Amino acid sequence: MSDAPLDCRHVRLAVGADPQHLSPEVEAHLSGCAECRRFRDETLELDGRLRAALELPLPEFRRRAPPVRRYALAASVVVALLVAGGAWLFRAPSALAGELVAHVQGEADSWNAQAQMPAESIAGVLGKAGVEFDSRMPVVYAAPCPFRGHRIAHLVVQTVHGPLTVMLLPHVSVTKREKFSEDGLNGILLPAGAGSVAVLARGGNVDAADADAMVSAVHWAK
């Protein structure tokens, strides 16, 4: 125990509440009290572990098929699409490409999906995004992802040329095909009715016929 104004009990309350930000009075007490210093050191060590504990391993966290909790819809069900327009819809494709790549890189585990997803799971994702996707090729990953202020369908489709990420963008209008390449991903942005479809491949290029097939499979909600 020291002669400092604060007693040990109050010092430990302060240390236990906010060990990273201690007042000069608490620091003064600590400089003269070995027991409280030990308590402070233990708490700081605990805080380091606490920080590590809270930093959940995200690959493990994301390695899960998205749940279908809000909708149990058949594949053909279409949900009305209520969107507000905005100037950002018509942004230059180069900026869009960067955003698409950043999003896909944020879900890097999606490339590793192998098993075909159940039809009702895919339908749930498409329903949330307000779109139909009638592909003959197996969909191995489907997530309703936020993108530019809207929920869109982010899919990974297995093709004979390897997996392709397909992002269905009803809110993004483009007038012509645009190829892009960034951070090891190659992609094509294609017009699809009032919206667009982004098709990305990892490593190689996107096969043009595969990209066309993806666009043909898309039907926006009316």
Question: CA 35, 39, 42: angle at the middle one, nearest 5?
Answer: 135
Contacting residues for 94 by C-beta, under 8 A, at least 6 apart: 178, 180
Minimum distance from residue 168 beta carbon to other proteins (Å): 16
Minimum distance from residue 7 beta carbon to other proteins (Å): 11
- Binds other proteins by CB under 8 A, chosen from 17, 72, 83, 119: 17
Alpha helices in the chain (DSSP H): 8-17, 24-32, 34-54, 58-62, 93-106, 119-129, 208-217
Q: Which of residues 162-201 bind other proteins (CB under 8 A)?
A: 173, 175
User: By rule CB under 8 A, what count of residues binds other proteins?
Assistant: 55
- Binds other proteins by CB under 8 A, chosen from 1, 31, 76, 88: 88
**CA-atom Rg of the chain in angstroms:** 26
Minimum distance from residue 58 beta carbon to other proteins (Å): 5
Site membership for other proteins, residue 136 (CB under 8 A): no
Angle between helices 34-54 and 8-17 (to 10 degrees): 20
Minimum distance from residue 127 beta carbon to other proteins (Å): 14
Contacting residues for 50 by C-beta, under 8 A, at least 6 apart: none
Name the nearest CA neighbour of 125 among 112, 141, 114, 111.
141
From the list 109-117, 140-148, 160-168, 205-213, the region that binds other proteins by CB under 8 A is 140-148
The two three-digit tokens of residue 19, written as one number: 């060990």
- Binds other proteins by CB under 8 A, chosen from 27, 47, 120, 134: 47
Binding residues vs other proteins (CB under 8 A): 9, 12-14, 16-19, 21, 39, 42-43, 46-47, 49-58, 60-62, 64, 66-67, 69, 87-88, 90-92, 94-96, 98-99, 102-103, 105-106, 144-151, 173, 175
